[in-house]
A and B are shown apart, each in its own frame.
Chain A
Amino acid sequence: MTSSVPIIMTLAYLGVAIFLGLRARTGRSMNSLEEWGVAGRSMGPVTLYLLIAAGSVSAYTFMGAPGWAYTKGVAVFYVVIYLSYLALVAWYFGPKVWAFGRRFGHVTQGAAIADRYESSLLGALAAGVMSIASLAYAVLQTIGAAYILHVMSAGRLPIWVGVLVVLSCIALYLYASGQRAIGITNAFQGVLMLAVAWAIGLWASQRFGGGLWFGDVFTTLRERDPAFLTLPGAQGDMSFAFWTTSIIVSMLSFMPPVWTQWMSASSARTIRRSATWLPSYYVVILPMVVVGFIGIYSLPELARADTVALELAMQQMPVWLVGLLGAGTLAASMSSCEPFLHSVALSYAKDIAQPAFKLSDAVAGKLARRLLLPIMALIVAPVAIAEPSNLVMILLVGLGFATQVLPAFIGMFFWTRASKLGVLSGIVVGFIVTLLFTLVWRNPLGIHAGFWGLVVNLPVFVMVSCLTRPASTAVITRFFAIAAPTRSRLNAESKDLASRG
């Protein structure tokens, strides 16, 4: 394809994103952590719905998901299920996290952990290691975004130029408007992705299935290759064990940007209302998966499965639809990249630099904004341009580790006896097991490495917690007045009665 229409449409999308992102700051000082970090805790239910939805839908929806459908079949639908479970997690934990932030002034996940366990070291450790997964994720999305610009420009924009273009655009509005820019651009990107995915899916179904009804695509598939319609999938590698443990591990990974998103809500009720309808957004995945299934017969010799939608577009679709796909995929990459870059800068300033150098909140706020640029220039851009082959492995290890921080959250929401040393021990052994079962013995018995890590982590966490000193009564009382208000009230009433009687 030699037409300039796709790249013009894709660049037009970038222009709109920059315009919206820059405008988001109107009338506010972005040097404070409350404003730049969590948008002054002001986001309403619709913005929050699109913020979380677009943030959780990455380039995977437009590239990876069709690729999985193309190679593995219906195994790809595990993503739809775990994303819905993440909405349940947001509904239950989001309001409590928001209340912690509101009452105790937390703007990051690490700050909440440091406060609950009275250990800035634990907060910094959690923030530092979580940032490995976050940066790997941001790099992957940047590579995806640069690849889209490369394809849409018919190869005229090399990958390194694409990386610089995308990161410069994000840097511009993220530096200027912080979490407010993420909110407004994600809202735009969320709507765009939904429209693009359905336009592409319906067009492909009409062109190759004989009508808008997806049924014809799947009826053909059932007759010719029924293995695509069941687990363990067409390649036989998606067992029930891997499906189940992948869903559980993904559901239990409390990634820092999600925490920041919850803290940006205007109220606890706002989080519940947006989480309630959040799963409905994941109909965005269905049409792109159908495109992947269509590719099984229309592009049988594809070298890279995750390019199936793009290849189908370049070979068959009208140029305006190719341009829409370019804009939609770029939106998906950027909407997921932005929150991770923002949360890493925020965590480095608030959870690591502030306690280490005893900085004031005002200085930490300025530092968070300024750290964004070296993080992009010195870490994300060079790694994205180098495109290391083991990046997916780094991401897998990182996500496996993210799950190992689960004990910190159990102690925050469910168990008053959890101690600092218990959490630390659990994290360390869980991480070692996850690392070994990712790099040395890959997913033994078809079970996700992160799940194996939890199997060892949780008993160690409980045992060590029982043997070591818990946090002070004042902290426990403060936290559990939010995490367990009824229980706290009953305790207070019984103490009151005892003191009187």
Chain B
Amino acid sequence: MKHYIVRPTTGRGWGLTLAFVVLIAAGIWPVIGWFNRACVVLGLPLIAVWAYVIVFACCGVMAIGNRLVERSCDDE
């Protein structure tokens, strides 16, 4: 059998993969370092605000993903 590594096969699949990678990068170094300041925004420390931006961005990306997946059920 010819062996392979699974990867996205359509533009939508690649777009979604990229969005997941960007979300994960947003929560770790070096990106988190950009928000590492002792200031209070919207009543919360900047890192806390950024953490909750990531939380709701995750919801948003998955909601978009649902629409894409439901359109083409077999995208990897």
Chain A contact residues, CB within 8 Å of chain B: 74, 77, 80-82, 84-85, 87-88, 91-92, 213-215, 218-219, 222, 226-227, 229-231, 240-241, 243-244, 247-248, 251, 269, 272-273, 275-277, 279-280, 282-283, 286, 289, 413-417, 470, 473, 476-477, 480, 483-487, 489-491
The residue of chain B having its C-beta at the shortest distance from the C-beta of A483 within the complex is B6
A230-B36 CB under 8 A given contacts A416-B4, A486-B75: yes
A476-B54 CB under 8 A given contacts A231-B47, A415-B6: no
B43 contacts A279, CB within 8 Å?
A: no
A413-B6 CB under 8 A given contacts A218-B40, A272-B62, A276-B63: yes
Contact with A along B28-62 (1 / 0, CB 8 A): 11101100111110111111100110111011011
Instruction: Write out the residue numbers on chain B whose beta carbons fall within 8 Å of the beta carbon of A489.
Output: 74
**In the complex, what's the smallest C-beta–C-beta distance from A191 to chain B, in angstroms?**
19
A279 contacts B76, CB within 8 Å?
A: no
B40 contacts A222, CB within 8 Å?
A: yes
- Cβ-defined partner of B5 (8 Å) among A81, A244, A415, A473: A415
A484 contacts B24, CB within 8 Å?
A: no
- Cβ-defined partner of B55 (8 Å) among A231, A282, A470, A477: A282
14 contacting pairs across A/B (C-beta < 8 A): A74-B47, A81-B27, A88-B61, A214-B43, A230-B38, A231-B47, A244-B28, A279-B56, A280-B55, A283-B55, A415-B3, A485-B73, A486-B10, A487-B76
B28 contacts A248, CB within 8 Å?
A: yes
A279-B3 CB under 8 A given contacts A214-B43, A243-B28, A486-B76: no
Cα(A230)–Cα(B23), bound, Å: 21
The residue of chain B having its C-beta at the shortest distance from the C-beta of A281 within the complex is B55
The 10 closest A-B pairs by CB, nearest first: A215-B43, A226-B38, A417-B3, A485-B74, A276-B62, A240-B29, A81-B27, A244-B28, A229-B38, A77-B51
B1 contacts A476, CB within 8 Å?
A: yes
A222-B39 CB under 8 A given contacts A84-B54, A87-B58, A247-B28: yes
Cα(A283)–Cα(B38), bound, Å: 21
A279 contacts B59, CB within 8 Å?
A: yes
B43 contacts A272, CB within 8 Å?
A: no
A214-B58 CB under 8 A given contacts A241-B29, A470-B3, A473-B1: no
- Cβ-defined partner of A487 (8 Å) among B9, B46, B47, B48: B9
A87-B5 CB under 8 A given contacts A240-B33, A247-B28, A485-B76: no
**In the complex, what's the smallest C-beta–C-beta distance from B76 to chain A, in angstroms?**
5
Cα(A222)–Cα(B46), bound, Å: 11
Instruction: Write out the residue numbers on chain B whose beta carbons fall within 8 Å of the beta carbon of A82.
Output: 27
B40 contacts A88, CB within 8 Å?
A: no
Instruction: Write out the residue numbers on chain A whose beta carbons fall within 8 Å of the beta carbon of B42.
Output: 215
Cα(A483)–Cα(B44), bound, Å: 41
A243 contacts B29, CB within 8 Å?
A: yes
A277 contacts B24, CB within 8 Å?
A: no
A84, A226, A227: most-surrounded residue (chain B CB, <10 A): A84
**In the complex, what's the smallest C-beta–C-beta distance from A107 to chain B, in angstroms?**
25
If A230-B36, A231-B32, A416-B1 are given as contacts, then 17 extra A-B residue pairs at C-beta distance below 8 Å, sorted by A number, are A80-B55, A81-B55, A84-B58, A87-B58, A88-B58, A218-B43, A226-B38, A241-B29, A244-B32, A248-B28, A272-B62, A275-B62, A286-B44, A289-B48, A477-B1, A483-B76, A491-B2
Cα(A91)–Cα(B66), bound, Å: 9
B74 contacts A486, CB within 8 Å?
A: yes
Instruction: Write out the residue numbers on chain B whose beta carbons fall within 8 Å of the beta carbon of A244.
Output: 28-29, 32
B62 contacts A88, CB within 8 Å?
A: yes
Instruction: Write out the residue numbers on chain B whose beta carbons fall within 8 Å of the beta carbon of A227.
Output: 38
Cα(A251)–Cα(B54), bound, Å: 15
- Cβ-defined partner of A276 (8 Å) among B30, B38, B54, B59: B59
Instruction: Write out the residue numbers on chain B whose beta carbons fall within 8 Å of the beta carbon of A226.
Output: 38
- Cβ-defined partner of A88 (8 Å) among B3, B20, B29: B20
Instruction: Write out the residue numbers on chain B whose beta carbons fall within 8 Å of the beta carbon of A92.
Output: 20
A77 contacts B40, CB within 8 Å?
A: no
The residue of chain B having its C-beta at the shortest distance from the C-beta of A484 within the complex is B6
Instruction: Write out the residue numbers on chain A whose beta carbons fall within 8 Å of the beta carbon of B54.
Output: 80-81, 84
Instruction: Write out the residue numbers on chain B whose beta carbons fall within 8 Å of the beta carbon of A286.
Output: 44, 48, 52
Instruction: Write out the residue numbers on chain A whose beta carbons fall within 8 Å of the beta carbon of B40.
Output: 215, 218-219, 222, 229
**In the complex, what's the smallest C-beta–C-beta distance from B16 to chain A, in angstroms?**
9
Instruction: Write out the residue numbers on chain A whose beta carbons fall within 8 Å of the beta carbon of B74.
Output: 485-486, 489
Cα(A82)–Cα(B57), bound, Å: 13
**In the complex, what's the smallest C-beta–C-beta distance from A413 to chain B, in angstroms?**
7
**In the complex, what's the smallest C-beta–C-beta distance from B21 to chain A, in angstroms?**
10
B62 contacts A77, CB within 8 Å?
A: no
A243 contacts B63, CB within 8 Å?
A: no
The residue of chain B having its C-beta at the shortest distance from the C-beta of A466 within the complex is B3
B66 contacts A480, CB within 8 Å?
A: no
